[in-house]
Amino acid sequence: MRGIGQLALLSTDPQHAAEFYESAFGFKRIADDATGVDLELGGFELSFRRGERATRDGLQLGFRVDTAAEVDAWAQELSRRGFALVGPPSGDRWEGTRSFRVADPDGRAVAIFHNY
């Protein structure tokens, strides 16, 4: 086994969820039909399937970056582009731990983080 390659989540509006991940993080759409949307980034597939309720309770997606400074840069860029941060970056950037979160259209927490 090489690692996790795909995550499928329920969404009340798969198209809207997909647009968020495309716009915010650069995912590319690889499939799209009436039942849902499949996205890909760096060999990882993120899929959204239509559901009456979104998959979100206790779920957080996290994107790891290479440096604590990148966390701050992502926060500034997403804020500049109109994405609402749940809170500002926190942690000790000098020791190398840093993170912040945004919420996707279905209310899932999405973290950008760096841990040395």
Indicate the pTM of the whole model: 0.88
Please state, as a whole number, how many other Cβ atoms lie within 10 Å of the Cβ of residue 91: 16
Task: Name the band, by pLDDT with cuts 50, 70 and 90, for residue 103.
Answer: very high
First to last CA, the chain: 25
Residue 59 near residue 108 (C-beta atoms within 8 A): yes
Which residue has 């279905």 as its token pair? 106
pLDDT at 73: 96
Q: Which domains does the chain have, with CATH numbers?
A: 1-55 (3.10.180.10), 58-116 (3.10.180.10)
More confident residue, 97 or 29: 29
Residue 20 has pLDDT above 90, yes or no: yes
Q: What is the pLDDT of residues 67-92, one digit of tens each?
A: 989 999 999 999 999 999 999 999 97
Q: How far is CA 84 from the centre of its chain?
A: 13
The CA-based angle 39-42-44, given to 5 degrees, is: 50
Q: What is the pLDDT of residues 40-54, one digit of tens each?
A: 999 999 999 999 999
Secondary structure letter of residue 108 according to DSSP: -
